């Protein structure tokens, strides 16, 4: 069930991004973007998948709580009493209205209809973030931060996905980059800042309320949530590199008739989808609020155990509640880590060189993945 719910979260992120990106691009004048062919059935599909994908967490919650009680009785209770259930009802209602709006023949010609469709999409997004982990454990901060984070990422990646996969040609590419690049930068800044605040809520230590964010981040690495968080952050480095290459370094080359920027935009979008996948896995992992209890009940992450060779896991598992705070993850980057970081830097240079000089998508993709792997392992082997 956990894998299935992670998959549905990935579908949700992708569908929201495609829907938001498509509707925004319909509002952009044709001389400011490439010619697009966005089949109406794609808009119907992503809109319909959103409530379907959002339903699975409701089912999972009901299944966990049902026990000896009837599943349908508990399901109805979750649907009407729990935040995740009420959120789904709202999403389903808005999605129904949105599908009716998308049926309009004037969707692509009447800006007011398109704007209304975009507002409905934003309402569905707000409905989804209102039941997120960060939103349910804070008064309003978690909801606000997660909403801003999700919206910023959906705009940036949504525009990228739709243009890279639905553009019929590269006409007006420079005109497109002139407004898309600053929009993407603004979304990236908002996503990074709001993501930082959301992270502080998600990894906040209940065992040690005075712990710094760095200490909480380090301790989270012992669990699936922290491992996914670290991998996500390293992947974002690769994503930003391709964004800079596509948005800045390739700007002059876009004027060359033989150059096709769409294939590079598609590569960037693939890395964005990988980040979505890792984020979806995080969403179904236990947040590391209580390190001691989490270690006792679920143990450390298999990935952490595969790389780390120290004794901190056994120390925490054998500790008492009172002494567990004595053990936490620390770093000491030695020769191995330094060499791996240098190797990661080398792969970064190769990624940019292969893109700018050789125009090789395959080499850039492989070297960027190797960069991610080298940086990740470099960090992990530095754990004491």
Tens-digit pLDDT profile for residues 169-209:
888 899 999 999 999 999 999 999 999 999 999 888 887 77
Q: Within the chain, what is the greatest distance between any pair of CA atoms?
A: 68
Domain range annotation of the chain: 2-289
Instruction: Give the predicted TM-score (pTM) of the model.
Output: 0.92
pLDDT of residue 145: 93
pLDDT of residue 115: 96
pLDDT of residue 1: 63
> Buried b / exposed e across 345-365, counting CB within 10 Å, b at 16+?
eebbebbbebbeeebeeeebb
Cβ–Cβ < 8 Å for 242, 271: yes
CA angle 124, 125, 128 (to 5 degrees): 90
pLDDT of residue 261: 87
DSSP string, 298-319: H-S-HHHHHH--SSHHHHHHHS
Q: Which residues of the chain have pLDDT under 50?
A: none
């Amino acid at each position: 069930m956990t894998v299935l719910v992670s998959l549905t979260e990935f579908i949700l992120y992708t569908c929201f991004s495609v829907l938001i990106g498509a509707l925004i691009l319909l509002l952009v004048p044709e001389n400011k973007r490439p010619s697009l062919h966005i089949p109406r059935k794609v808009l119907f599909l992503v809109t319909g998948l959103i409530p379907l994908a959002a339903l699975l967490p409701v089912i999972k919650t009901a299944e966990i709580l049902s026990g000896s009680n009837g599943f349908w009785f508990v399901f109805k209770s979750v649907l009407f009493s729990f935040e995740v259930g009420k959120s789904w009802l709202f999403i389903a209602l808005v999605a129904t209205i949105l599908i009716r709006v998308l049926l309009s023949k004037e969707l692509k010609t009447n800006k007011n209809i398109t704007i209304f469709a975009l507002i409905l999409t934003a309402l569905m997004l707000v409905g989804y973030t209102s039941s997120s982990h960060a939103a349910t454990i804070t008064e309003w901060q978690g909801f606000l931060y997660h909403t801003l984070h999700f919206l910023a990422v959906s705009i940036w990646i949504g525009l990228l996905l739709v243009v890279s996969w639905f553009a019929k040609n590269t006409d007006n590419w420079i005109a497109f980059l002139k407004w898309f690049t600053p929009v993407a930068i603004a979304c990236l800044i908002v996503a990074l800042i709001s993501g930082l605040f959301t992270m502080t809520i998600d990894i906040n230590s209940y065992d040690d309320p005075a712990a710094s964010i760095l200490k909480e981040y380090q301790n989270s690495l012992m669990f699936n949530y922290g491992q996914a968080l670290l991998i996500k952050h390293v992947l974002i480095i690769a994503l930003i590199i391709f964004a800079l290459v596509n948005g800045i370094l390739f700007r002059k080359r876009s004027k060359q008739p033989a150059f096709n920027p769409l294939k590079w935009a598609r590569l960037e979008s693939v890395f964005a989808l990988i980040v979505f996948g890792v984020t979806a896995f995080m969403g179904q992992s236990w947040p590391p609020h209580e390190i001691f209890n989490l270690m006792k009940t679920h143990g450390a992450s298999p990935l952490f155990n595969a790389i780390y060779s120290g004794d901190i896991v056994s120390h925490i598992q054998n500790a008492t509640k009172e002494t567990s705070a004595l053990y936490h993850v620390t770093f000491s980057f030695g020769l191995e880590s330094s060499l791996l970081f240098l190797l990661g830097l080398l792969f970064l240079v190769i990624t940019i060189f292969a893109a700018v000089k050789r125009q090789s998508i395959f080499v850039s993709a492989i070297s960027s993945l190797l960069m991610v792997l080298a940086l990740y392992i470099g960090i992990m082997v530095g754990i004491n």
